[in-house]
Amino acid sequence: MSVNELWVILTGIFVAASCGILGCFLILRKMAMVGDAISHSVLPGIVIAFLISGSRDSLVMTLGAAVFGLVTVFLIQLFKNSGVQTDASIGVVFTALFAVGIVLVSVYTRQIDLDLDCVLYGEIAFVPFDRITLFGMDAGPKAIWGTGITFFITLLVVSLFYKQFKITSFDPAMAASVGIPVALIHYMLMGLVSLTTVSSFESVGAILVLGMLVVPAATAYLLTERLSVMIVYSVAVGIVSTILGYYAAVWLDASIAGCIVTVAGIIFGLTFIFSPSHGMISKWWRKRKILQEDHAKQAQLETA
């Protein structure tokens, strides 16, 4: 394994781990599409940051994106509170912001050089080449730092407030009645999702972020009955998909991000069929067994 390979896989693992943790809470709160929404609606933020600063420095653009990530979350909640269904609220917000972004891009596209494809669909294969220098020394690829720091922040916040994240996801009314600030916790979670999306999508692409946010978490949801275990499984599935996906991409000579998500999809499909607790086969088997026992009982009754 070359060093560059290692960098790419390590970046993927950091993304998978952050997303795996947060994804569990997203799907339990029925907000799975929030990641998709954020990754699109940050476009105007990126463009505005670029127009103001005039540089393609990724820190400035990330900041612009992060601001719009939070705006997205805030608007979704605002419309939801005024009676729009969650999913529709998500849809209205991100499409509108994305449209604003495209208009901005096309208004200024002559003057500036901002490649839309590049901004929206980062390519993980380029991770090793965009490097950061600290004190005049090469400190490794920039993406490693971005995704790594994000992962540690996510891990820290979720473990500190695990209790609050859990109870507000399960029973917000009861949580509010004992004085837990439900709205604050919600924004904390959404802030983390926003941070993860923004820090990852520039280096690995929006589709990989969304895929990693929902597919491993949904897989874990079919395997366990405990939230803590679900989070561990979710991260594990994400990491396995990253590694397998990377080598599949090398073998097929195709997009790494695409392959990682596809592998995660395949793992989900297999779990959906074969999970011991929630799989189709075990469910069918249990149903059959109950029916058989029923028949046996009836037969006994009849003979008696």
Partner 1 sequence: MSQSPLEINNISVAYQKKPVLRDITFSIPEGKLIGIVGPNGAGKSTLIKAILGLIPRLSGEVKIYGKPYKDQLKKIGYVPQRESVDWDFPTNALDVVTMGRYGHLGWFKRPGKKEKEIAMESLRKVGMQDYANRQISQLSGGQQQRIFLARALAQDATLYFMDEPFVGVDAATEKAIITLLDELKKQGKTVLVVHHDLATVKEYFDWVMLLNETLRAIGPAEEVFTADMLQETYGGRLAVLDKQKESSFVLA
Partner 2 sequence: MTWFEILKEPNIQWILWACTLLGIGSGVIGSFAYLRKQSLMGDALAHVALPGVCIAFLLSGVKSIFLFMLGAMVMGIISTFIMSYITRKSRIKQDTAIAIILSVFFGLGIVLLTYIQHNANGNQSGLDKFLFGQAATMIRSDVIVMAIISAILIVICTLFFKEFKLASFDAGFAKGLGYPVALIEQLIMFLIVIAVVVGIQAVGVVLMSALLITPAVSARYWTEKLGLMVFLSGLFGGVSGVIGTIISASGNNLPSGPLVVLSATGIFVFSILFAPSRGVVSKFLLRQSVKRKVEKEKQMQLRERGSSI
Chain contacts with partner 1 (rule: CB under 8 A): 28, 160-164, 166-167, 169-171, 173-180, 221, 224-227, 229-230
How many other CB atoms are there within 10 angstroms of residue 202's CB atom? 24
Q: Give ∠ CA 74-78-82 in degrees, rounded to 5.
A: 170
The site partner of 167 among partner 2, partner 1, none (C-beta below 5 to 8 Å per kind) is partner 1
Alpha helices in 109-180 (DSSP H): 116-120, 142-160, 162-170, 172-177
Asked if 8 is part of the footprint of partner 2 (rule: CB under 8 A), the reply reads no
Our CB check for partner 1 shows the closer of 108 and 170 to be: 170
Our CB check for partner 1 shows the closer of 10 and 218 to be: 218
Strand partners, 137: 134
Asked if 221 is part of the footprint of partner 2 (rule: CB under 8 A), the reply reads yes
Our CB check for partner 2 shows the closer of 10 and 260 to be: 260
3-state secondary structure of 284: helix
Q: Record the tokens describing residue 72, joined without a space.
A: 């997205």
Asked if 119 is part of the footprint of partner 2 (rule: CB under 8 A), the reply reads no
The site partner of 178 among partner 2, partner 1, none (C-beta below 5 to 8 Å per kind) is partner 1
CA distance 40 to 94: 6
| Binds partner 2 by CB under 8 A, chosen from 7, 68, 151, 268 | 268
The contacts of residue 19 (CB under 8 Å, 6+ apart) are 35, 196, 200, 209, 212, 213, 216, 238
List residues binding partner 2 (CB under 8 A).
27, 30-33, 35-36, 40, 79, 82-92, 94-96, 98-100, 102-103, 106-107, 207-208, 210-211, 213-215, 217-218, 221-222, 249, 252-255, 257-262, 264-265, 268, 272, 278, 280, 283
